[in-house]
Chain A
Amino acid sequence: MYAKRSRFLTVMLTLGMAFFYIPMILLVVYSFNHSKLVPVWGGWSLRWYGELFQSEEVWSAVALSLQIAFVNATFATLLGTLAALAMVRFGRFRGRTLFGGMLVAPLVMPEVITGLSLLVFFISLNQFIGWPAERGFTTITLAHITFSLAYVAVTVQARLTGMGQTLEEAAADLGAKPLKVLTAITIPQLTPALISGWLLAFTLSLDDLVIASFVTGPGANTLPILIFSRIRLGLRPDINALATIMILVIAICVAIAAILMFRQHRADLRDQQMAGTKES
């Protein structure tokens, strides 16, 4: 259908991919450098991995970040899915425009503004009701849920629109109660979107530096806060080692997500065929 890719496009694609991946490859290669000066080669070595694994600070930051990411992803998936159901399935309701706006805004809101506003919110709340008494795990998690749920809602909305309402209506016509329709038809159909939404929320939380820096309290260092405090002063070989491990873990997660998305795509096609609708 399309003409072949022109030479110009192939050159741009190659340059683009080189631009994306050479820095990452260098980051990984330098992690095996024995020298303390990151870009000056001093022979292969696992020295920095050793130092990394001995650092208690790093481990406690990893543990805190993983806990926050897990709780955040779970609640964000729950709330985001409810929000998506409300937006896609419930037609017009009072406050829908405001609700829709609040669901999209966190996707583009500059992090410094979200972070600042949540911090002053938590401090004001503490003045009025004495909670949260100290900032850390709870405040970071609450802040992360706020923007993660928006991302989950977008993912689930796309799936809800894609799969149509035919099966749900069929079940309702056959006498299934709304709750039954939800648990027996809607949720199973949504599963791939729920899993990729959960993974997305998990990664977003692990990645966040700015918002967490605002709403954290003394002593509660997430992994990005720890990394940032170290690399602000310059290059650190142990951070290269940490980066390599993180890239590896994320590559595995993305591969899982890609497989799920591929399945979802196939499920969408199947639903379209079953619904007998024409492909637009």
Chain B
Amino acid sequence: MTETSEHIDTAPVPARRGIMRRVQDSWRQIITIIPFFYLLVFFLAPFFIVAKISLAELAIASPPFTSLIEWTDSGVMTIRLVFDNFIYIWEDSLYLDTYLNSLKISITSTVICLVFGYPIAYGIVRSGPVAKPILLFCIILPFWTSFLLRVYSWMGILADQGTINNLLIALGVIDEPIRMLYTEFAVYIGIVYTYMPFMILPLYANMEKLDGSLNEAAADLGSRPANTFFKVTLPLTIPGVVAGCLLVFIPATGEYVIPDLLGGGNVQMIGRVLFNEFSRNSDWPVAAAVAIVLLVLLVVPMMVFQNFQGKASEDQ
């Protein structure tokens, strides 16, 4: 604040500044409007269309839904909103169970990621100056590697004739292969494996900023390491925990690829139902309603995340 006011005070001639200001303003408008317009058209507008379709009826037409606004012969416009799709989702236990199952899987996976990700992030923070960037690089590398192929890698490990079963049979531990691929267990493995970096990176960023002297002060005052951890370190890392958990929970809830590849037909998650409803059944109004309900479920965690992002960029 003080910097800007100083800048204005020392600016050369007031008249010239006025012109500059106007030129700058038009540039500012252009710079802002271009990306703003793009997001309005390709991000926001599509959601309204989905919302609109979710209130329409299935029709034998292309695209397969009825129009909300109809003109009767006398020239009166009528708007027909159909909430049948939402009632259908609510009453059909398939959808309700699938939502609950998605939530169960994503919440459990988030907890598993936190339990294992936290000590990993803390371990990186406490590493020496040589090991730290290397370890960090190792966490970021899978982040950049194909998501699809990372999921695929577990298909080879968990299959009936896969690495684990082959190994266990060769060692004589088991005679018959254990069924792991196409089970809920495989889905958990897949989600934890692919989303773990999303947990570790925000935790690391948060822990890295912690003031080490607080731990020293606690130790000097006679606190045991475990006590210091629970009373000093853990409370200070809550922002990292929240950011990490949201980054795992939100996308995991709508996950499509992992339940499809690792769960086969045996694990129902809402992302998969939505995709199939759309591509196989072509029931657009129901698919749109499923999407709207999913969005409503996730809108609160998403707003919390956005709030966090905003705060984090202001803190910098």
Q: Which of A45-53, A66-74, A173-181 contacts B (4 or more CB under 8 A)?
A: A173-181
Find out whether the CB atom of A23 lies under 8 angstroms from the CB atom of B157.
yes
Specify which of B12, B38, B295 is in contact with A113 (CB 8 Å cutoff).
B295
Residues of B within 8 A of A124 (CB): 49, 63
Residues of B within 8 A of A177 (CB): 20, 23
Whether B10 is near chain A, meaning CB under 8 Å from some CB there, is yes
- In the complex, A157→B44 CA distance in Å? 22
Find out whether the CB atom of A250 lies under 8 angstroms from the CB atom of B146.
yes
Find out whether the CB atom of B305 lies under 8 angstroms from the CB atom of A39.
no
Q: Of residues B123, B212, B260, B261, which shows the largest number of chain A Cβ atoms within 10 Å of its Cβ? A: B123
A219 to chain B, nearest CB (A): 16
Find out whether the CB atom of A120 lies under 8 angstroms from the CB atom of B42.
no
Find out whether the CB atom of B126 lies under 8 angstroms from the CB atom of A5.
yes
Instruction: Report the 8 A-B pairs with minimum CB-CB distance, sorted nearest first.
Output: A110-B254, A117-B46, A121-B46, A9-B123, A23-B153, A83-B35, A12-B119, A13-B123
Whether B88 is near chain A, meaning CB under 8 Å from some CB there, is no
Chain B interface (Cβ within 8 Å of chain A)?
3, 7, 10-12, 20, 23-24, 27-28, 31-32, 34-36, 38-40, 42-47, 49-50, 53, 63, 116, 119-120, 122-127, 135, 137-142, 144-150, 152-157, 159, 161-163, 166, 193, 196, 212-213, 215-216, 225, 246-247, 250-251, 253-257, 260-261, 271, 274-275, 278, 284, 287-288, 291, 294-295, 298, 302, 305-306, 309-310, 313, 316
- In the complex, A234→B156 CA distance in Å? 9
Find out whether the CB atom of B156 lies under 8 angstroms from the CB atom of A39.
yes
A245 to chain B, nearest CB (A): 11
- In the complex, A236→B137 CA distance in Å? 30
Find out whether the CB atom of A1 lies under 8 angstroms from the CB atom of B27.
no
Main SS class of interface, B: helix
- In the complex, A235→B162 CA distance in Å? 10
Which residue from chain A places its CB closest to the CB of B139 in the assembled complex?
A: A20
A3-B215, A146-B38 known, 13 other contacts, Cβ within 8 Å: A8-B119, A27-B149, A39-B162, A82-B35, A83-B36, A104-B310, A108-B302, A112-B254, A112-B271, A118-B42, A146-B43, A228-B257, A246-B146
Find out whether the CB atom of B138 lies under 8 angstroms from the CB atom of A178.
no
Q: Tell me whether A224 and B146 are in contact in the complex, defined as CB-CB below 8 angstroms, given that A5-B126, A101-B306 are known contacts.
A: yes
Residues of A within 8 A of B125 (CB): 2
Q: Of residues B38, B53, B125, B257, which shows the largest number of chain A Cβ atoms within 10 Å of its Cβ? A: B38
Which residue from chain B places its CB closest to the CB of A203 in the assembled complex?
A: B144
Main SS class of interface, A: helix
- In the complex, A8→B119 CA distance in Å? 8
Q: Which residues 44-62 in A have Cβ within 8 Å of B in the complex? A: none
Find out whether the CB atom of B127 lies under 8 angstroms from the CB atom of A5.
yes
Find out whether the CB atom of B302 lies under 8 angstroms from the CB atom of A105.
yes
Find out whether the CB atom of B153 lies under 8 angstroms from the CB atom of A116.
no
Q: Tell me whether A116 and B39 are in contact in the complex, defined as CB-CB below 8 angstroms, given that A26-B156, A27-B156 are known contacts.
A: no
Q: Tell me whether A173 and B42 are in contact in the complex, defined as CB-CB below 8 angstroms, given that A5-B123, A100-B310 are known contacts.
A: no
27 A-B pairs whose Cβ atoms sit less than 8 Å apart in the complex: A3-B215, A3-B225, A10-B123, A19-B196, A26-B156, A39-B159, A86-B35, A90-B32, A93-B28, A99-B36, A102-B43, A111-B251, A111-B271, A112-B256, A112-B294, A116-B274, A120-B46, A120-B284, A121-B46, A124-B49, A124-B63, A127-B63, A165-B3, A207-B146, A228-B261, A235-B155, A254-B144
